[in-house]
Amino acid sequence: MEEVKEQVISLPRLGEPAPAFEAVTTHGVLKLEDFKGSWLVLFSHPADFTPVCTTEFIAFAEIHPELQKRGVELLGLSVDSVSSHIAWVRNVEEKTGIKIPFPIIADLSKEVSLAYGMIHPGQSKTETVRCVFIIDDKQIIRTILYYPLTTGRNMQEILRIIDALQTTDANAVATPANWKPGDMVVVPPPNTQEMAEERVKQGYECVDWYLCKKKL
């Protein structure tokens, strides 16, 4: 009797290079390396012509200008065909007046979906769940978000995460809970006792030596 092998689903990890791909999209064939030098939000949706996904695509289109201001490109994906994607995008514009300006991968082979761990059999064996991958300009995965099929994504949180990542990269700091642009940032904790004693003299707002904030 032939042994049936269970399909192994890979899950990318933070801090590692994003899996390379070459895929058919609504804007032609694109590779991951085409986005090198820019940040990228790669997101998957379960299916075209579905209600929650339609609200999300409208919302992604609405934040697209804000993403571009931050040097961030946007790339959608589902396992639907490119013809389905094109028909859906045209329908969204016809019914709502919203133009979808970013490309959508038609991942019929599921090659990209499996490489990025977008198919979760506990949710659906055939559709991708709602994933968001924030990939930096060096093509390193910086954030991974997974949402169930029934829950639409929060666009302001995606923008906030990008702002936080770009702020911490530029200033060698961290961001506290509920941080938003303009708020105080967290200063890296001291590595020696001497640095800890000096910390309170440096003009930071400190709860104690290990938790200090400053304005940028």
Instruction: Classify residue 112 by burial, with Cβ atoms within 10 Å: 0-12, 13-18, 19+.
Output: buried
Tokens at 38, concatenated: 């820019």
Q: In whole angstroms, how far apart are CA 155 and each of 43, 82, 161, 199, 204?
A: 12, 25, 10, 37, 32
DSSP three-state, residue 168: helix
Tokens at 199, concatenated: 């910390």
Residue 212 is a catalytic residue = no
DSSP three-state, residue 23: strand
Strands 185-186 and 141-147: unpaired
CA–CA gap between residue 148 and residue 150 (Å, rounded): 5
CA–CA gap between residue 17 and residue 4 (Å, rounded): 31
Give the residue numbers marked as catalytic. Answer: 53
